[in-house]
Each structure stands twice: as structure tokens, then as C-alpha cells.
Amino acid sequence: MTEDQISFLNLLALRAGEEILKIYAEPFEVENKVDGSPVTKADAAAEEIILAGLAEKFPDIPVVAEEAVEAGKLPAAGARYFLVDPLDGTKEFLKKNGEFTVNIALIEDGRPVFGVVSAPALEEIYWGGEFRDNGKTKTRAFKGTIANGGISDVAPISVRTPPVDGISVLASRSHLSEETSALISRLSVAEQLNVGSSLKLCWVAAGRADFYPRLAPTMQWDIAAGDAVVRAAGGAVVLASTGEDFVYRVPENARKDDLRNPFFLAAGCRNLLRDVAPAA
């Protein structure tokens, strides 16, 4: 990704977030998808903005977006495609706790090579991936503050070394499974933080926590942008079953269920994964 492309994607996430906050501030109706998960007009409004922007700037790259897929529009993605979750953490949006995000990721050959995660209500934005600069590719991750329609206080972020007196573990606020709780109980944990949306991945990337196990259902668009930030910050996202790096694929003639993720583990330090993943 070039600096110009990255700036465009970051601002696109900001514009989607601004639209979400307009709806967030007013009474709104809630509907249920076929799988029972909630959806609001904020999801559709944010996705419309993102899809229009991507079509303008990246017309040749397919886009796999949550609400479009829900409507039966799943393109043939190939090896390079965007993954979009216009409003990750709808339950947190409904609870009005601010822990929801806008996620945009670029996938190449199964890897998330760039991702931006905007948390508009918290005025935080994270991004990271592979940057092209003077013919060289560098991997970097950043955090910024959302202010006055732009981004300020930009600073690089990186994962941390786990504290010797116990790790900080992140878990879903609204989707904490028994399997996840059982895994956490086997670890030396100093604190457990329950947080919504892909903020959990961003907090690992920024060194605010050490470990995020997810032994519960997610979709590709839920985690790809945060995964890109984690990897760019020096961390890892691996399959819980094998310890291998997480890989993204859209099979030929795919349907929505084909984009469901296997269980995964995200950590700032690969050594931490050795205690819980078979081959990490």
C-alpha cells in the first residue's frame, strides 16, 4: 500500500464512522438477520459509504462486505480482495457503550496486508500493514486520535513483552464462550478485560493486553483488519487447533457460511502461544 492509498482508506473509515455516529445519537430501529444477529440502518449507511469509496479508488479489487453478503452479493474474490465490516460490535452499539468499530482490510494471497479499525465513539483509530516507500516494503502499525474530521496524535504502536507476574487477557463482552473461559482459567492471568468488537485485536497490537483467545464463531470481516494491525505491530494470529498462521480465503462459488472463521488465538508474543496452541 502507498501512503496515498492508506490515507484514503483511513479517511474512508472516518467518514463511515461519522455516519454511524449520526444514527447513534438518535433513536433507531433494530432488525434481526436470518441468523438472529441484530442489524441497524447504521450498518447499511456505513457500508454504502465504504463501497462507494472503494469502487472509486480501487475499481479492480473485489470487495467482500458483510451487509452485501447478507443480501446474497458475494463476488468472486480471487487472491486479492477487500474485507469490510461497516459496523463491528452491533450489540455494543445497541448498548451505547462505544465499543464498536469500522473495519476495512486488504487481503493478498491469504494474508491481511493492510487494515484500518476506527472506533468513532471512542475517537480512536488503528491501522497497520505493509507500506511501500521508495521501492521498499516496511511493516508498521499506528494509533491515532479522531478529531475534527481528521486524525491527530499519530504514534507507532507495537506489542509488548508479557509481564512476569501474569498476563492481561481480552475476551468478548457479548460473546464469551465456555470454551474460551476454560482456556483462560488454565493461564497465569493478572487481569481479564471484556471488550467489544475488533478493539480486542487492536489492544493486543498496542500493548494494552497480551492475549486474545476466540473460541467462538466469527466471520472473516470481523477480524481481518485487526489481524493486519496485530501482525504489523509484531504479534500473531493463529489457528487454535494447529498454531498455524491464520489464512483468509473466499472459495469459488462461496456462500456466507464459507467465510466463517475457525477458532483463533491472538497474542503479542509467540512464546505465549506455545502454552495453548499445539504448534505455535
pLDDT tens-digit series, residues 11-64:
999 999 999 999 999 887 787 776 667 788 999 999 999 999 999 999 999 999
Q: Same domain for 95 and 137? A: yes
Predicted pLDDT at 35: 67
Mean pLDDT of the residues in the chain = 93
Query: Can you give the CATH number for the domain in which 36 is found?
Result: 3.30.540.10
Which is more confident, 111 or 181? 111
Q: Is 66 annotated as a binding residue?
A: yes
pLDDT number for residue 132: 82
Find out whether 88 is annotated in a ligand binding site.
yes
| Count of alpha carbons within 13 angstroms of residue 113, beta-carbon side | 18
226 and 259 inside one domain: yes
Residue 277 has pLDDT above 80, yes or no: no
Q: Which three cell numbers stand for residue 210?
A: 497480551
Q: Is 204 within 8 Å of 238 (Cβ atoms)? A: no
In the chain, % of residues over pLDDT 70 = 98
> Does residue 19 share a domain with residue 130?
yes
Give per-residue pLDDT as tens, 244-254. 999 999 999 99
What is the β-pairing status of strands 150-156 and 101-108?
A: unpaired
Inside any domain, residue 242: yes
Model pLDDT for residues 202-261, shown as the tens digit of each residue: 999 999 999 999 999 999 999 999 999 999 999 999 999 999 999 999 999 999 999 999
222 annotated as ligand-binding: yes
Q: Which of 96, 117, 134, 137 is nearest to 17 (CA)?
A: 117
Of the chain, the percentage scoring pLDDT greater than 90 comes to 79
Rounded mean pLDDT, 174-187: 85
Handedness of CA 24, 32, 215, 259 (dihedral sign): negative
Q: Is 70 annotated as a binding residue?
A: no
Structural domain range at position 254: 167-273
One domain, residues 139 and 173:
no
Q: Which of 156, 186, 205 is the last residue of a domain?
A: 156
Q: Is residue 97 a part of any domain in this protein?
A: yes
Q: What is the pLDDT of residue 229?
A: 98
Please indicate, yes or no, if residue 162 is contained in any of the structural domains: no
Q: Is 85 annotated as a binding residue?
A: yes
Q: What is the CATH number of the domain that holds 180?
A: 3.40.190.80
Any binding-site annotation on 90?
A: yes
pLDDT score at 34: 66
Residues 57 and 145 in one domain: yes
Q: Could you report the per-residue pLDDT of 70-83, keeping only the tens digit for each?
A: 999 999 999 999 99
Question: Is residue 89 marked as binding?
Answer: yes
Residue count of the chain: 280
Give how many domains the chain has, as a whole number: 2
User: Which residues is 195 bridged to in the sheet?
Assistant: 172
